[in-house]
Amino acid sequence: MKLIKRLGQRDYQIAVISIIVAVVLAYWKPYVLVEGVQRSCLYAAIALPMALILGLVGIINLAHGDFMMLGAYLAYWLNVYTGMDPFLAIIPALVAFFVIGIISYLATIKHVLGEEELIQLLLTFGLAMVLQQIANLLWTSQPRKIILGYVSSSASIGSFSFGTFEFVYVAAAIAMHVGLLLFLKKTRLGQAALAVGQNPRGAKLVGINVDRTYLIVFSISIALVGAIGVLFMTRHSIFPMVGGAFTMKSFCLIAVAGMGNIAGIIWVSLILGISENFVLSFMGYAGWADIIFFALIFLVIIIRSHQRRVR
């Protein structure tokens, strides 16, 4: 599996096309572009940890979005009971979800690593249901939201004004992307993780503790997605089922980008986020925005299976 690749000719073509689309959109519907970029960065930030687990541990975690949901609730209750600012809550969330990641790995994921994919899917689906229902039992299905003053800050260019707070998601996505690349390339643990992802048996032969690497990669990813949940909570209302859609969309991004292509996730999330906002901008058709990711994944499956047949 290749996580880091150099830019090829195709990437430049994609970049040129996206710049043209961006310029057209900036003239026609500037808010679609700005809000689309903010939205897509949220998607990318949620999808990256999932891609890390899928690429290195080899497990598709259907409970991914639900860990994010729990992170959002953690920040919510910290804010309600102690008045803690959500941005400060990122630190306890990272710690708490690292521990939660360790526990879920040791209790469940570890035991199905060698099993067939079918068993793994069933297990993580069960995990997702348990997390959702725990939240439902403890905090009911009523949507919750806190009002923060700085969330509604805005800036304007000419007559066009837009929210600036949501650029937090852009920052988060960039930080996570750069952080992951640095982790995988520069640290010993990251290099070991890459080696394990490429070939677990080979990694074991050269003396890497495969089991511990899996544990750490899984826990780091859960910690990251918990922290993103904290950011998610600042702007969106939360309820126990909120994570499910993000699991699906994250998988869509990973599948469309191709397994193990981290840079591709950013591109695909831009496509998804901007086209969703494009649909949302038409009055009366906004409800259809949630169908786009499905169309995208369907299209890619058709193209992939066609390519396979040609080959």
**Where do we find the tokens 């079918």?**
118
Minimum gap (Å) between residue 206 Cβ and other proteins:
29
Q: Is 89 within 8 Å of 74 (Cβ atoms)?
A: yes
When the beta carbons of 101 and 190 are compared against other proteins, the nearer one is 101
Q: Which residues bind other proteins (CB under 8 A)?
A: 60, 62, 108, 111-112, 116-119, 121-123, 125-130, 132-134, 136-137, 140, 244-245, 248, 251, 255, 285, 287-288, 290-291, 293-294, 297-298, 301-302, 304-305, 308
Identify which of residues 88 and 121 has a Cβ nearer to other proteins in the complex: 121
CB of 209 to other proteins, least distance (A): 23
Nearest approach, Cβ of residue 162 and other proteins (Å): 27
Residue 140 to residue 19: CA distance in whole angstroms: 45
Q: Measured from the CB of residue 143, what is the shortest distance to other proteins in angstroms? A: 14
Closer to other proteins at the Cβ: 79 or 275?
A: 275
* 231 vs 293, beta carbon nearer other proteins: 293
- What's the one-letter identity of residue 197? G
Report the nearest approach of other proteins to the CB of residue 141 (Å).
Answer: 8
What Rg value do the Cα atoms of the chain yield, rounded? 20
Under 8 Å between Cβ of 103 and 89: no
80/291 with CB nearer other proteins = 291
Pick the closer one to other proteins by CB: 36 or 244: 244
For the bound state, the minimum distance from the C-beta of residue 112 to other proteins, rounded and expressed in Å, comes to: 7
- On whether the CB atoms of residues 13 and 67 are closer than 8 A, the answer is no
The C-alpha torsion from 72 through 180 and 291 to 307, rounded to 10°, is -160
**CB-nearer residue toward other proteins: 175 or 303:** 303
Identify whether the C-beta of residue 257 lies closer than 8 Å to the C-beta of residue 95.
no
Please say which residue, 127 or 257, places its beta carbon nearer to other proteins. Answer: 127
- Return the number of other C-beta atoms located less than 10 Å from residue 140's C-beta: 11
Minimum distance between the CB of residue 110 and other proteins, rounded to whole angstroms?
10
Shortest distance, CB of residue 254 to other proteins, whole angstroms?
Answer: 10
In whole angstroms, what is the distance from residue 221 CA to residue 22 CA? 31
